A and B are shown apart, each in its own frame.
Chain A
Amino acid sequence: QKEVEQNSGPLSVPEGAIASLNCTYSDRGSQSFFWYRQYSGKSPELIMFIYSNGDKEDGRFTAQLNKASQYVSLLIRDSQPSDSATYLCAVGGEYSGNTPLVFGKGTRLSVIA
């Protein structure tokens, strides 16, 4: 069974600091990796995706992928109180395919003003 593991947190960081969220996955054949943000009482919102080893940056967010270690991370620079949410890691198949995404339980992030 494919599994995605995340530390449930809460992860507390002060405003302006870097928040580091981690995720490991069990299926070595996974090809696509996603980070979703979910505010309390809301549905998940896609914030980052990555397909290749290395780093991908988008504004204050950086996704990092290491397929050899089966490890994905999300860095949030200059954390803001509005970043306080649960962050879900999801893992899927090929970019052009339709393998359903498998989600982790999520890590709750709290940014303290």
Chain B
Amino acid sequence: ETGVTQTPRHLVMGMTNKKSLKCEQHLGHNAMYWYKQSAKKPLELMFVYNFKEQTENNSVPSRFSPECPNSSHLFLHLHTLQPEDSALYLCASGEGYGYTFGSGTRLTVV
């Protein structure tokens, strides 16, 4: 399998649930990212990992917890989310020459 794969594609969760988003890349990139895309807003950078180390946390609330066990895998653990966290969550990999995005997880918090 090639490219950047994200699962699940769609997720509906209650505010008290705990869930995880998964991202896997087969492109040999050393950097991976989580972005949030909400309606009428630009893509918001959440977290950056370089060589498995977190190098940027863009003031993201602690109810979002990233994990990067190796350069190919990235997780976003979710707990006690709020309805305003409903959005498209996009994983990407790549460096200065541009990113490749996964298909995204459409998250709805009820």
Q: Could you list which residues of chain A lie within 8 angstroms of chain B, going by C-beta atoms?
A: 4, 8, 31-32, 34, 42-46, 49, 88, 92-106
Contacts and interface: CB of A to CB of B under 8 A. Distances in A.
A100 B33 contact: yes
Main secondary structure of the interface of A (DSSP, over half): loop
Contacts of B48: 98, 100
Nearest to A49: B98
Interface in B28-66: 31, 33, 35, 40-43, 45, 48, 50, 55-56
Contacts of A42: 103
Main secondary structure of the interface of B (DSSP, over half): strand
A38 to B, nearest CB: 9
B41 A97 contact: no
Contacts of B97: 32, 49, 95
Contacts of B102: 43
B90 interface: yes
Contacts of A8: 40
Contact of A32 (B31, B96, B103): B96
